[in-house]
């Protein structure tokens, strides 16, 4: 069996927080944020947790594709901000949309999470056991941000997005992948530590907030991502000139410019919506993909070749070459 992308969907909280609003909360300003990140606004949850964002994105996907929740065979949610350690966010989504008691589980690869989840979902479809699978990426980053830390608080937003995969004997949406991790550099981005505290250990203070070495992440991205993009395209027997669009994790517009320069391709090849949503971690790729499909910039069945690429905590990174 082959895996086909049937459609996409997304959901973001209604509350929009502008750079000007952040100026009132911390020592920063709109020009500084825009020129260094490309971000102008972000959507922030007013109480909806990750499972709700993902559930609403899933309902959007089902509505657009005309598939019933009862037809879904598995759900994978990519997130680094689950509702809790248990139950998984995917199990909560299964209940939220009214799906059958199907297989549902989470994947945590931070900002690369959607790539990881999509790779797993493709293999499940290829097994011939499943007909339909929901692959979701969702985050409520605002709940792990220290809103007094201007180095991270200005970057992130909340949201969810995803796609529906279906089994087919003829059409294959997936042409190649290149996925990696390097735990030796994991301290460059951490969040929500749970230290060992029991009657054998001394009391430890845990830091639940996201902490990031911005310079380290920037250097990692502009070194690893261009190589990954080139590898996935060339190993699939294509050239960069045959790629119609790159849907990259929306971390920082300057990173996208640097990646494009390193690959010697126009930065316009990279689709972007970071100005509106900021960095939504595992949600950024599917939110952008859904936006492109909804606006008609990309069309299912067009046979256009798209690179999806993510990078972030773990450290993790990966790229997939798909055909719509």
User: Half-sphere exposure (CA, 13 Å, Cβ side) for 61?
Assistant: 35
Determine the pLDDT at residue 203. Answer: 67
CA–CA distance, 3 with 167 (Å, rounded to integer): 5
Q: How far apart are CA 87 and CA 239, in angstroms?
A: 43
Q: Tell me the C-alpha distance between 277 and 133, whole Å.
A: 26
Q: Give 63: exposed, middle or buried? Use CB within 10 Å, 0-12, 13-18, 19+.
A: exposed
Which position among 49, 108, 252, 279 bears the catalytic label?
279
- Out of 111, 198, 200, 252, the active site residue is 111
pLDDT of residue 124: 98
Outline where DSSP puts E strands in 252-304: 270-271
CA 137 to the chain's CA centroid:
5
Q: Is 49 helix (H, G, I), strand (E, B) or coil?
A: coil
Question: Contact at 8 Å (CB) between 103 and 77?
Answer: no
Dist. CA 247–CA 108, nearest whole Å: 20
Closest CA to 160 of 52, 294, 16: 52
Give the model's pLDDT for residue 195.
77
81-90, pLDDT tens digit by residue? 999 999 999 9
Coil vs helix vs strand at 10: strand
Q: Look at residue 199 in the predicted model and tell me its pLDDT.
A: 75
At 121 the pLDDT is: 98
Give yes or no: 91 in active site. Answer: no
- Below-50 pLDDT ranges, the chain: none
Scan for tokens 């001394």, then name that residue.
Answer: 202
Per-residue pLDDT tens digits for 131-175: 999 999 999 999 999 998 988 999 999 999 999 999 999 889 999
- Contact criterion met (CB below 8 Å) for 43 and 159: yes
**125-158 b/e with 16+ CB inside 10 Å = b?**
beeeebbbbbbbbbbbbbbbbeeeebebbbbbbb
Q: Do residues 284 and 157 lie in contact, with contact meaning Cβ atoms separated by under 8 Å?
A: no
Cα distances (angstroms) measured from residue 275 to each of 23, 81, 317: 17, 22, 22
Question: What are the φ/ψ torsions at residue 46 (nearest 5 degrees)?
Answer: -105, 20
What is the per-residue pLDDT for 75? 98
Cβ atoms of 118 and 177 closer than 8 Å: no
Q: Which of 249, 252, 273, 295 is catalytic?
A: 249
Is residue 14 among the annotated active site residues?
no
Contact 173, 323 (CB under 8 A): yes
Contacts of 21 (CB under 8 A, 6+ apart): none
Give the pTM: 0.95
| Residue 206: how many other CB atoms lie within 10 Å | 11
Q: What is the pairing mode between strands 16-18 and 2-11?
A: unpaired
Question: Among this protein's residues, is 180 annotated catalytic?
Answer: no
């Amino acid at each position: 069996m082959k895996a086909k992308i049937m459609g996409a969907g997304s959901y973001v909280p209604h509350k929009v927080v502008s750079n000007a609003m952040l100026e009132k909360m911390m020592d920063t300003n709109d020009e500084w944020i825009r020129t260094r990140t490309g971000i102008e606004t972000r959507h922030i949850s007013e109480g909806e947790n990750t499972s709700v964002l993902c559930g609403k994105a899933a309902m959007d996907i089902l509505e657009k594709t005309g598939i019933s929740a009862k037809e879904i065979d598995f759900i994978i949610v990519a997130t680094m901000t689950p509702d809790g350690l248990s139950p998984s966010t995917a199990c909560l989504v299964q209940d939220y949309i009214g799906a059958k008691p199907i297989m549902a589980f989470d994947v945590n690869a931070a900002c690369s999470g959607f790539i990881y989840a999509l790779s797993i979902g493709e293999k499940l479809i290829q097994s011939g056991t499943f007909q339909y699978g929901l692959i979701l990426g969702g985050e409520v980053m605002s709940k792990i941000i220290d809103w007094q830390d201007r180095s991270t608080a200005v970057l992130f937003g909340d949201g969810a997005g995803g796609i529906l995969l279906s089994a087919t004997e003829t059409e294959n949406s997936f042409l190649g992948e290149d996925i990696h991790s390097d735990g030796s550099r994991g301290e460059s981005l951490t969040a929500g530590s749970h230290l060992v505290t029991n009657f054998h250990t001394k009391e430890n203070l845990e830091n639940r907030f996201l902490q990031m070495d911005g310079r380290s992440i920037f250097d990692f991205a502009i070194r690893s991502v261009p190589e990954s993009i080139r590898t996935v395209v060339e190993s699939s027997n294509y050239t960069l000139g045959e790629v119609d669009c790159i849907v990259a994790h929306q971390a920082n517009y300057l990173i996208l410019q640097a990646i494009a320069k390193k690959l010697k391709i126009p930065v316009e090849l990279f689709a972007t919506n970071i100005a509106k949503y900021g960095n939504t971690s595992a949600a950024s790729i599917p939110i952008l993909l859904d936006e492109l499909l909804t606006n008609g910039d990309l069309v299912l069945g067009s046979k256009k070749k798209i690179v999806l690429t993510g990078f972030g905590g773990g450290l993790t990174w990966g790229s997939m070459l798909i055909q719509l």
